[in-house]
Structure 1
Amino acid sequence: MSVLQQHVEIERLLTLKSDHELKRMGKMFATNNNKYFYDTGTGKVLLLDQDSYEIMDALFNRSEIKSIDDLKEVLNGRAIEKFGLAVAEEKLFRAFKPDKLYTLGHYEDLERQVNSEFRQLILELTGRCNLRCGYCIYNEDCDLNRNFNDDDMTIEVAKAAIDYTAQHTKEKAAVTFYGGEPLLRFDLLKWSIEYSLDIMSGKALSFSLTTNLTLVTKDIAEYLAAVPNLSVVCSLDGPEYVQNSYRKYSNGYGSFSKAIRGLELLCEAFKNSRNVLSINAVFAPPYSQQKLDDINSFFQKLTFLPKGIDINITYAAKGSIPDTKLSIEEVPKDEQNMINPLWDWMTDQIKQHPSIREEENTIYAALVEKILIDVENRFVADEPSEFYPFNGCCVPGARRLYVNTKGDLYICERVGNSPSIGNIFDGIDFGRIHNFYVEDYSRGTIENCKNCWAIRLCSTCYIDSYTESGFHRENKRKQCSSQKKSILEDLVFYHAVRETSPEKLEFLKNARVF
């Protein structure tokens, strides 16, 4: 490439800068040891030498830099020419500006996937729950979702949903049980499993449920252990003082003693089973590093837990804890000043230990592995693609289908109040899928997405972006700053681990990607 052509590349970047288009093209970030650039168009991450960093910094952050001559006041011409050559060879700063989000599955292939590649049925067996957890999205104080109710699913609805699954899945099918607390309807759960095994005997069939553990008996545990390919997510926040501060009965009593007994029964029953247990813990105010140490130590010392069990810890859903119940110091720190106590604690733990999976179970291993897998398997190409996916949204009605107690169909159990996409007796309404979850989502989010450097890395999905009447633009927009901060943290973390402890990434060779 001639010097003239290299200068053309630099002039192109200066034009992008003057047109306010440069910052959507990528993001600079730094570890303690190195500086990097993530390129939006190709997904590449490039290690920057000092000259390249100074040129990048001038382009991105110095408003007075408007010409090549201005750049030459920062660095000599040879460094600038070398930089222009690298930009051209790596095809950097060429991200297309989309006018809509697009995947084949959301458009041309939508009906085929929904009709023949459906994967996971989620049955809301009941709207009842025997607990009233302080951060639950179904509480009367929380407007993110429906309130608890006394509705129970009938056998007729469950049968119709399972029949639908048998007709619309291929070789594999998954059936998940949800509530409320699904074990309040253990009778229907058991019937649904037996019926599914009967009519889908030729498929690779799996089952799962989430339980607060308090209703688990020896008989229930042994039955679940005997069901082929069944997994149970156990909701347990940690030691007694942590568990009982939020996970309470309606009379205010804590649930720890019954929950820990239920977990022990499940672990005992699953000891000789190939079925899987995992734990979901919620980290709720007041936040402290000591609290995280206590939670971690608690799970490490539970000797009856299987080694290597996934323990996932997350914050309570935003808006699930009413402000009236929080003192000012208990308002989440990451909402006050973008400090993330869970992240800070987790990354510090990784630095202190020789491997991610220790001999003892930890609350950070599963989350850390997911972050590293997501960065490792990001979109990377030699040249930019003109298509940008629907953030982290799955194909509605194909990846999963949530059937409530009345038989109404929704795209996911986690989305909350949102438009239905049909009824199990009448079938899928493709018009509603297209209008609400394809066109409205793309139109409502594209103005922000098309100018965002993180558009290809964004994991935001339909969750929290809807009300019963449809897409809520402001709700979606509110997620953007925290999402970009999280993505940047993940990029820094991944590359810091790769620099200092590459052996900790060996597990990525065998990691399963979903």
Structure 2
Amino acid sequence: MPNQNGIRAIEVRLISKEENNMSNARFGMVFSTTEDSHYFYDSGTGKVVSCNTQEKKFLEDILNNKISLKEACENNQEFAVLISEEKLFACPEEREFLIPSKEEFEELITGHCEQIILEVTEACNLRCEYCIYHEHHPEFRGFSNRNMTKEVALRSIDNVLRSYKKDRFALTFYGGEPLINYQLIKESILYTQKKYPNIKLDISFTTNLTLLRKEMIDFFKSLDNVYILCSLDGPKDFHDKYRKYVNGNGTFEEAIKGIQLLREHFYFEGDEEHTFAINCVVTPPYSKKNLDRLEYFFREELKLPKDVSVSYSYLDRGQMQVDLGSSGLIADDIGGKLEASPIEEWALDKIIKKEERQEELFSIISQDMLRVAKRLRADDGLIEKTYFHGNCVPGQRRIYVNVDGTYKVCERIGASPTLGNHISGYDIDKIYKEYYKDYVEYFKRICKNCWAQPMCSICYERTMDKDGIKKDVPDSVCMGSRRLIRDAFISYYRLYEMDREKLEETLQKYEKARKEAEGIRQYEVYGESL
């Protein structure tokens, strides 16, 4: 069992059975890349150890409580020596969450919020069937025609920027369809430029493309650093299946006209200050046939330039009924090596087969690969403290302001405790209690028997409602996180086995690009369907 030193951010769509007894399960997990290639991830140290098929069965028996750790060591001296030398199977029963003190938290968010997301309107000219504002997502608001006022927008901007300590800031607009309130977008940008001339602005927004007009593009083109995320779900029959006007008609033709306007008047190859990207919601069933068709459409039919990125995201079904046909959620042609990551498995198989567009394909799995490569490790001891799941620091990196001026963590969270409002600013006491103290108190019991705690990606989106921590966070949330992490390990080590040097070289490039993006301009902008 030689030592091998060596993420997923999507919501899980696929839940299967998992072990019920977690007392030994906290020590780690076993995963396989082929029928004969197996590994053990030790959660106490973060190490990964390779093992043969017989050793794999032995480890699984321990983790599933079929034999005790004491009995295993007594019956296998080689195993006992290994875990002693490598400090394996020594994960503490309870680990401390790394969270700031209340004073440190206040210092973290005061003058440091790098992005404000203004929900300039709740109105939308579309009724995409999977939209989170339908009844099948009861935790989110419904559709309305409310618009943000100029007072709310400008006061919210002032609240953040009057004490801002950096020279670059992201101003993002969200909806609904934000271009419905284009006038407020324009006024907010011009106001911020005039009042804070020493702060360089990064402007971004998400659009369904149907309301984009030449005069709007001319204004955005006149600005420095504008990034537009466009919602387009592939060819006409794919796109129009769910993305429809209020009257039920498809929106593909108008969306394509919007793309053409951007290519003719906004985007020019090599211009890094005026960029757009595509977000494609992939709807089930997930199949190689459908994903291949999407890839062909964007690069061969639409002929998007190489530097216009296409991101594929999963459908957030909520309580929505989706016809999966005879193939089920994931079709057989995907492969089935990963439990909950069909898009990533599709990309990974193409990478392994050395198909074209390797760099573009790797971008689909890069977050997972970095998550495994940059995981917490304690080569000379144990991981005694862990990160605060996948949660951000509320109000530090960004703040979301809804139409009436209420502060929220971000646009992806539905009903959740507020952070304050545009009149009084942050409510430090409330934020710290509900998003830190109460959270830790709840999860320290749940997490103590879980091997995934050091790498857990669960965020507030899955665990909060308007009153704070949900009274009963579903087991599926934790099960899903474990499956995604296991999938990430499998993907990483499949590439590791194929070409370790190439993997490390590629990850170094992506890590460098990620750090540059964080320091320059690529702030998060989410589509209405994410």
C-alpha distance in structure 2 between counterparts of 1:478 and 1:59, whole Å? 23
CA distance in 1 between counterparts of 2:404 and 2:46 reads 44
- Where 2:198 maps in the other structure, the secondary structure is coil
State the shift of 1:408 in Å. Answer: 0.9
- 1:401-420 to 2 correspondences below 5 Å: 401-420=399-418
1:456 paired residue number = 454
SS at match of 2:505: helix
Among 29, 42, 45, the alignment partner of 1:42 is 45
In 2: Cα distance, 1:62 partner to 1:470 partner: 35
- Over 3 Å counting, the alpha-carbon distance change for 1:99 and 1:86 in structure 2 is closer
Structure 1 partner of 2:358: 357
- How far apart are the structure 2 equivalents of 1:49 and 1:186? 61
TM-superposed CA distance for 1:501, in Å, is 3.1
Kindly report which structure 2 residues correspond to 1:372-411, keeping only aligned pairs within 5 A, or say none: 372-382=369-379, 383-411=381-409
C-alpha RMSD over aligned residues: 2.7
Three-state SS of the structure 2 residue aligned to 1:464 is helix
Q: Counterpart in 1 of 2:25?
A: 23
Correspondence for 1:203: 199
- Counterpart residue number, 1:306: 305
CA displacement, residues 285-318 of structure 1 (integer Å, 9 cap, x when unaligned)? 3443322221111112145522143211121114
Deviation of 1:496 (Å): 0.8
1:479 aligns with 2:477: yes
Cα distance in 2 for residues equivalent to 1:178 and 1:47:
47
1 CA distance for matches of 2:437 and 2:395? 15
CA contact (8 A) 1:310 1:365 kept: no
Instruction: Report the alpha carbon displacement of residue 220 of structure 1 after superposing the two structures with TM.
Output: 2.0
SS at match of 2:41: strand
Residues 112, 165 of structure 2: 8 Å contact kept: yes
Name which of structure 1's ranges 193-202 and 479-488 shifts more when overlaid on structure 2: 193-202
Residue 129 of structure 2 corresponds to 134
The SS at the match of 1:143 is coil
Q: How far apart are the structure 1 equivalents of 2:54 and 2:95? A: 35
Partner of 2:258: 262
Distance in 1 separating the partners of 2:88 and 2:317: 37
Alignment match, 2:314? 315
Deviates more, 1:154-163 or 1:310-319: 310-319
* 2:223 alignment counterpart: 227
Quick one: which amino acid aligns to residue 39 of structure 2? Y
Q: Which amino acid aligns with 2:419?
A: I
Structure whose CA Rg is larger = 1
Q: Which whole-Å deviations, capped at 9, do the CAs of 1:104-156 have from their partners, x for residues lacking one?
A: 2x645111111122121110000001110010001244313001111111111
Q: What secondary structure, in the 3-state scheme, does the structure 2 residue paired with 1:442 have?
A: helix
* Structure 2, unpaired ranges of 5+: 1-20, 332-337, 519-530
Match of 2:120 among 99, 121, 125: 125
CA distances 1:83-109 after superposition (whole Å, capped 9, x unpaired): 4343333332332333663322x6451
SS at match of 1:367: helix
Q: Any idea what SS the aligned residue of 1:456 has?
A: helix
Please name the residue that 1:60 is paired with.
Answer: 63
Shift of the alpha carbon at 1:188? 1.1
In structure 1, what is the Cα distance between the partners aligned to 2:177 and 2:320? 22
1:147 equivalenced with 2:142 (yes/no) = yes
Deviations 1:356-386 (Å, cap 9, x if unpaired)? 635xxx5x44321222122222222322232
The normalised TM-score by structure 1 is 0.86
C-alpha separation between the residues in 2 aligned to 1:232 and 1:379? 34
Code of the aligned partner of 1:151: R
Q: Cα gap change, 1:339/1:398 in structure 2, threshold over 3 Å: closer, same or farther?
A: closer
Q: 1:29·1:37 contact (CA, 8 Å) conserved in 2?
A: yes
Separation (CA, whole Å) in 2 of partners of 1:327 and 1:49: 38
Q: Which moved more, 1:245-254 or 1:368-377?
A: 368-377
On the 8 A contact 1:144/1:417 being kept in 2, the answer is yes
Kindly tell me: are residues 415 and 66 of structure 1, through their superposed partners in 2, closer, same or farther at Cα, counting changes over 3 Å? closer
Q: 2:184 aligns with which of 184, 188, 201?
A: 188
Structure 2 counterpart of 1:103? 99
Q: Quick one: distance in 2 between partners of 1:67 and 1:381?
A: 23
Amino acid paired to 1:173? F
| Structure 1 residue 161, shift from structure 2 partner | 1.2
CA distance in 2, matches of 1:64, 1:479: 28
Work out the number of aligned pairs and report it.
Answer: 480
Q: Partners in 1 of 2:144 and 2:63 — Cα distance?
A: 53
Q: What amino acid maps onto 1:153 in structure 2? A: M
* Residue 160, structure 1, aligned to residue 155, structure 2: yes
| Alpha-carbon spacing, 1:108–1:56, altered in 2? closer, same or farther (3 Å) | farther
**Contact 2:120/2:147, CA 8 A, preserved across alignment:** yes
Which shows bigger deviation, 230-239 or 84-93?
84-93
Instruction: State yes or no: 1:247 paired with 2:248.
Output: no
Question: What is the alpha-carbon distance in structure 1 between the residues aligned to residue 340 and residue 161 of structure 2?
Answer: 47
**1:37 Cα offset (Å):** 1.8
Instruction: Specify which structure has the bigger relative contact order, considering alpha-carbon pairs within 8 angstroms and separated by 6 or more residues.
Output: 2
SS in 2 for 1:417: coil
**Residue 486 of structure 1: how far off its partner (Å):** 1.0
Q: Alignment partner of 1:206: what SS?
A: strand
Give the drift of 1:508. 1.2
Counterpart secondary structure, 1:27? strand
Q: Give yes or no for contact 1:29–1:35 (8 Å, CA) kept in 2.
A: yes
Q: Which residue of 1 aligns with 2:16?
A: none
Higher mean alpha-carbon deviation, 407-416 vs 210-219, is at 210-219
Structure 1 residues 37, 169: CA separation in 2 closer, same or farther (over 3 Å shift)? farther
For 2:426 and 2:69, the matched residues in 1 are separated by 55
Report the AA paired with residue 24 of structure 1.
R
Q: CA deviation at 1:222?
A: 3.4
Counterpart of 2:463, as a letter, is S
Write the mapping of 1:421-440 to structure 2, written as runs, cut at 5 A. 421-440=419-438
CA distance in 1, matches of 2:403, 2:206: 17
Per the alignment, residue 12 of structure 2 pairs with none
5 Å matches for 1:278-289? 278-289=277-288
Q: Distance in 1 between matches of 2:117 and 2:211?
A: 20
The 8 Å contact of residues 95 and 384 in structure 2, kept in 1 or not, is answered as no
Map of 2:88 onto structure 1: 92
